Structure 1
């Protein structure tokens, strides 16, 4: 069953949002797809915040990618000038 992760992010004060997003588009999104994600979307939620919605074919695929994802998250603050502020995840139980 499809599995979704939703992470929320905030860029550092004084960082241009578009500059911060360039690294996300060029590096982070393709890396998630290489780890098995079927779709990655980033939604701008305010001047400095975003939500990343990542779709996985199943929980096992996401779990297998966990170690690589955690390693990248440790680098994001210094490389992308952002920090993760929250995470939600679970199986899709209804779609429309």
Structure 2
């Protein structure tokens, strides 16, 4: 089992584009043995300390294996919508374990 945690930073004013991207690609997880375990949108008041700015969202996703993760990343349907991600997301910090 592989777990991916993503800290997603979204451009101000581009939240709707990001939401549309997520609506189109998150359902594709199951096709590749993936599951969305958590999708959290924390508020600034939820942060106690740290050097990084708070992310817009935090995702915890699991895949049965590396092959599933790779297949999701290269899924043709997902690839069609990546321009929406590029337009709306400034950066993503990904932790794989």
- Alignment TM-score, normalising by the size of structure 1: 0.62
Structure 1 unmatched runs, 5+: 91-96
Whether 1:27 and 2:24 are equivalent positions in the alignment is yes
Whether 1:58 and 2:65 are equivalent positions in the alignment is yes
Work out the CA distance in 1 between the residues paired with 2:4 and 2:10: 19
Residue of structure 2 in register with 1:93 after alignment: none
Work out the CA distance in 1 between the residues paired with 2:90 and 2:25: 14
- Alignment TM-score, normalising by the size of structure 2: 0.62
**Match of residue 56, structure 2, among 43, 49, 73:** 49
Structure 2 unmatched runs, 5+: 45-54
Question: Retained in 1: the 8 A contact 2:3–2:62?
Answer: yes
Question: Retained in 1: the 8 A contact 2:3–2:63?
Answer: yes
- What is the aligned length? 85
